[in-house]
Amino acid sequence: MRGSIYSEKAGEGLSDAENGEYLTVQSDLMWTPHTDENRFRGKVFLLISERTFSAGAVTAAIFKFNKMGTIIGQETSGREKLCSDPVTIELPHSRLKASIPLATYTLPGENPNRGVIPDIEISYSIKDLEDGSDKEMEKVRELVREARRQPRYFGIGH
């Protein structure tokens, strides 16, 4: 890692680390979303699917942990515990190249080896797919229709 572009992330502890030693750079570092009086107080829906990964899965995990709204869809393919910041090495004799992740990130959540699980799970039948259904948006519309019957649901008066 010393020669990689990620060496700055490790900070001062890197110079004292032995080769092969695991180094904890930041532990339990997380910011809570602001509680500003102007923050939107209405309902927010986040749609996820098995095609949600990388920064999308990170966003979904933080969104869920901070109870920022309702998550609708299918479990993300991005995990709550993931490896990142790869460095590519080339083996000297075979010239084979390999990527080695230098960092492990554990996001807030209950299932580190799974993706983010939605609050409202949506599944599709083959017929739904053939028809081009968008069941997540249908669910959001349903929830909005229900909410319109409840005053102040969206943070504003009716």
Domains of the chain in start order, with CATH, are 42-148 (3.90.226.10)
Tell me, letter by letter, the H, E, C secondary structure of 122-143. Answer: CCCCHHHHHHCCCHHHHHHHHH
Report d(CA 80, CA 28) in Å as an integer: 14
Neighbours of 55 (CB within 10 A): 9
Q: Is the pLDDT of residue 156 over 50?
A: no
Whole-model pTM: value is 0.66
User: Taking 60 as the threshold, does the pLDDT of residue 157 lie above it?
Assistant: no
Per-state percent for the chain, helix, strand, coil, to nearest 5: 25, 20, 55
Residue-wise pLDDT for 3-56, tens only, equals 665 566 666 666 677 776 666 666 555 566 666 777 777 889 999 999 998 888
Read off the pLDDT of residues 74-120 as tens digits, 9 standing for 90 and up: 999 877 677 777 888 899 999 999 888 877 777 777 777 788 999 99
Q: Tokens standing for 144?
A: 């909005």
